[in-house]
Amino acid sequence: MNDAEFQSFIDEVTDRNDICDVISEYAHLKRVGNRFAALCPLHNDKKSPSLSVSPDKQLFHCFGCGAGGNVIHFIMAAEHLDFMDAVKLLADRAGIPVPEFKGGGSSSARSSTDKKQLIYTINKEAGRYFFKNLAGDTGGDGYLYLKNRGIKNSTIKMFGMGYAPEGWTNLIDYLKGKGFSEHEVYEAGLAKMRDNGTYYDSFYDGRIMIPIINVQGNIIGFGGRIITDKGNTGKYLNTPETLVFHKKENLFGLNFAKNDRSGTLLLMEGYMDVISLHQAGITNAVASLGTAFTEEQAKLVKRYGGKAVLCYDSDEAGKKATVRAGEILTAQNIKTRVLTVTDGKDPDEFVRKSGGDMFRVLIERAKPLFEYRIDELQKQYKIETEGADGIETSVFPDAEATVEFTEAAAALLAEIKNPVELEIYTKRVADESGVSVDSLKASVENIRFGVARAEERREQQLQRRRQAQAMSKVENVKLYNAERLLLNLMCDKPVYRLAADKGLKYDDFTVELHRKLAKAMFDMYDADGAVDLGRLLQVFDDEERRTVSGILLDDKNTQDKKAAAEQPLKIILGDRNLREQDKLLAEGNLDEVYRLMISRAAGKNKSKEN
C-alpha cells in the first residue's frame, strides 16, 4: 500500500466513524450552540463539562486536560492505543476491511509501528524459549514448583508459562541466534545494560516466566516469579516499561477474561490467583501488573466487564488497596462488590484447598462496596462486649466514638451518586449510630456543598493558571487572541479569500505554532482549494495537536464568520504594518516610512468610501 492508498483508507475510516457517535459511547453529549459538550472521559472531569465536540469539523478538544484531535486521536487516548491500533479498531467498528499496512502511512507512524511489531516478535520468541525450557532439562526446578502449586500441564500451556534458568546471557544468546541484536532485546525490556555498555538478561536468577498478553493477543511483557529463597531480589519481577508495555494500562488475564459472558471481572492482586481461578473454571479473573489499580485499568473493566468484584488480601495493605480501587471504579460508574476470602488466605490458596465451587459461593456473598466500607468503618469505632446472656455484640464505647463514626460515615455517603443507594445506606448508618436520618442527611449535604465549592475553586485556579501560562509567552494578548480566532475562521474558504485579498501571509502571524498552522492551511488552499482538518492535524506532533485542536474548535459560536474575521484581520495586519514601520525607522529609511503611511491612509479612505 502506497502513501496515497494509505491516506485514502484513513480518510474512509474517519468518514465512516462520526466523532459524536463514537464519543457518545464514552460520555453523555449535550448540545451547546453549534457544538456538543460533555464531562471529559479522558480525565477525572467531575463537575463542569470541559470536553467540546464539533460535528461540523469532526474534532474534539478538552479545555481541561488539553487532549484534542479527530476521532482517531480520541480512540488513541480513550483506549490507550497507538495510531495504527486505533485505526484498526475504528475500521472494525465501521465494518471496513483492514488492508496490509506495510509501506503505508507517514514515516513516523511506520517507524513507531515497525518498532512495536519488532518488540512483539522478540517477546514471542522469548516466550517460546521460556516454554521450551520448562519442558527441557533446564526447567526441572521450575516445573516441580508449578506442580507443587497444583498447576496442570493444560494450564501451563494455556498461559504459555515457562522458565528462565539462572545465567547472565541465556536469553540474549538465544535471541541473537534468531537474528536480533542485543540492543533490540534491551528495548524489549528483556535485557539490562551495565555501566560499561554490556548487556545481561533481565531474568537471570531462576524464575517461572508468565507472559503478559494484551487483548489483541500480543505478548507485551513478562512477569517472573523467583523459585528460590534468595534474599537480594524481589519475589516478582516484571518487564520494565517499554514501547508496548505500560503496566497501568493493562490487566493480566484480560485476553481470556474478555470472552467471559458474566458481565463482571474479578480483580485479583497476583498472577497465580488469576491462573488458579481460570484453572478452576472461573474465567473472568484478572490482575493488575504489580502496581496499584489505576484509572486506565478501571476503563478496561468498564469496557470488557461492566461490573467488578475486588478480591484482594484481607490484611491492612489489602484493605487499603480495596478502598482505593473501589474509589477509582466508582468514579467510572462501575458497580463494585468486595469478596472476602475466609481464613485469611489469598484466592490461589483458597481455590487449591476448597475448589472452584466454594470460591463461587464467596463471589455470591461478596458485599457491595459501600456496605463493605461501612462495615470496615464500624470496626474502627466499635468494641466487642459480652451481654448478660453471654452473647458477644459490637457497640460504640461512648458518644465521642458514635460522633466520629457518624462523621466518617457521612463522608462516605457523600460519595454516593445513586439516590436510591444513598437512601438505603443513610438509613443503615442512622440505625447503627442512633442518629436521625434527617441529621445524617444534613451532614451529607454540608459535606457535598463543601466538596463542590472546593472543586469549583480548584477549577477556577487551574483555569487562571493555564491562561496565565499561555499569556506569559505573548506580549500582546489582543494580538494573540486575534491570531487564534482568525486561524479558526479561516477553515471557511470565504474567510481565507478575504484574508488573502487583504494581503495576509502566513508569516504575518507572530506565534511560531500559529505560523506553522497558517502555512499548512495556505498550502492546502493553494493545492486543493480547501482545508482537510483530518490531514491538517497530521502536520503536528502530539503536543502541538493539543493546542491546534483547541484553536480549530473554538469559533466562539460565530454565525457570520466572514464578518467576524474583519476585526482580527485588522489587528494582525495593523501589527504587521507597525513592525514594518519600526524596521524601516531602525534602518533610517524615512522616505519609505512616509510612503507607506501615505499609501495606508489612502487605502483607509478608499475603504470608507466603499
Q: In three state form, how does the secondary structure of 223-260 look?
A: EEEECCCCCCCCCEEECCCCCCCCHHHCCECHHHHCCC
Q: Is the pLDDT of residue 275 over 50?
A: yes
pLDDT band at 458 (very low <50, low <70, confident <90, very high): confident
pLDDT band at 105 (very low <50, low <70, confident <90, very high): very low
For residue range 378-390, what is the model confidence (pLDDT) as tens digits? Answer: 988 877 776 666 6
Q: What ranges in 219-355 are assigned the alpha helix state H? A: 254-257, 271-279, 295-304, 316-331, 347-354
CATH number attached to the domain at 477-609: 1.10.860
Q: Is the pLDDT of residue 601 over 60?
A: no
Q: Which CATH class, in words, describes the domain spanning 3-105?
A: alpha beta
Residue 226, helix vs strand vs coil: strand
Residue 387, helix vs strand vs coil: coil
Residue 395, helix vs strand vs coil: strand
Q: Can you tell me the distance from the alpha carbon of 373 to that of 425, in angstroms, rounded to the nearest whole number? A: 11
What residues contact residue 523 under an 8 Å CB cut-off, 6+ apart? none
Share above pLDDT 70 across residues of the chain, in percent, rounded to a whole number: 90
Mean pLDDT of the chain: 87
The alpha carbon of 252 is separated from its chain's Cα centroid by a whole number of angstroms, namely 17
CATH number attached to the domain at 109-245: 3.90.980.10
Lowest mean pLDDT among 142-151, 170-179, 465-474, 544-553: 465-474
Q: Which residue has the higher pLDDT, 52 or 140?
A: 52
- What's the confidence (pLDDT) of residue 351? 93
pLDDT band at 200 (very low <50, low <70, confident <90, very high): very high
pLDDT band at 318 (very low <50, low <70, confident <90, very high): confident
- ∠ CA 339-321-347, rounded to 5°: 40
Q: Is the pLDDT of residue 233 over 90?
A: no
Q: E-strand spans in 166-296?
A: 191-193, 199-201, 207-213, 219-226, 236-238, 264-268, 285-287
Q: Is the pLDDT of residue 606 over 60?
A: no
- What's the confidence (pLDDT) of residue 495? 93
- What's the confidence (pLDDT) of residue 106? 47
- What's the confidence (pLDDT) of residue 234? 78
Q: Is the pLDDT of residue 537 over 60?
A: yes
Q: What is the mean pLDDT of residues 397-402?
A: 87
Cell numbers at residue 549, please? Answer: 485542536
What residues contact residue 15 under an 8 Å CB cut-off, 6+ apart? none
Q: What is the mean pLDDT of residues 524-551?
A: 89
Cell numbers at residue 125, please? Answer: 520468541
CA dihedral 279, 285, 289, 295 (to 10 degrees): 170
Residue 163, helix vs strand vs coil: strand
Beta strands at 335-338 and 367-368: parallel, antiparallel or unpaired:
antiparallel
pLDDT band at 127 (very low <50, low <70, confident <90, very high): very high
pTM for the predicted model, two decimal places: 0.68
- What's the confidence (pLDDT) of residue 265? 96
The answer to whether the CB of 164 falls within 8 A of the CB of 203 is yes
Q: Can you tell me the distance from the alpha carbon of 564 to that of 2, in angstroms, rounded to the nearest whole number? A: 41
Burial of 593 per CB tally in 10 Å (0-12, 13-18, 19+) = middle
254-365: CATH topology is: Dna Topoisomerase Vi A Subunit; Chain: A, domain 2 (3.40.1360)
- ∠ CA 70-72-77, rounded to 5°: 100
Q: Is the pLDDT of residue 109 over 50?
A: no
The answer to whether the CB of 47 falls within 8 A of the CB of 452 is yes
Q: Which of 543, 482, 542, 546 is nearest to 518 (CA)?
A: 482
Q: Can you tell me the distance from the alpha carbon of 279 to that of 154, in angstroms, rounded to the nearest whole number? A: 9
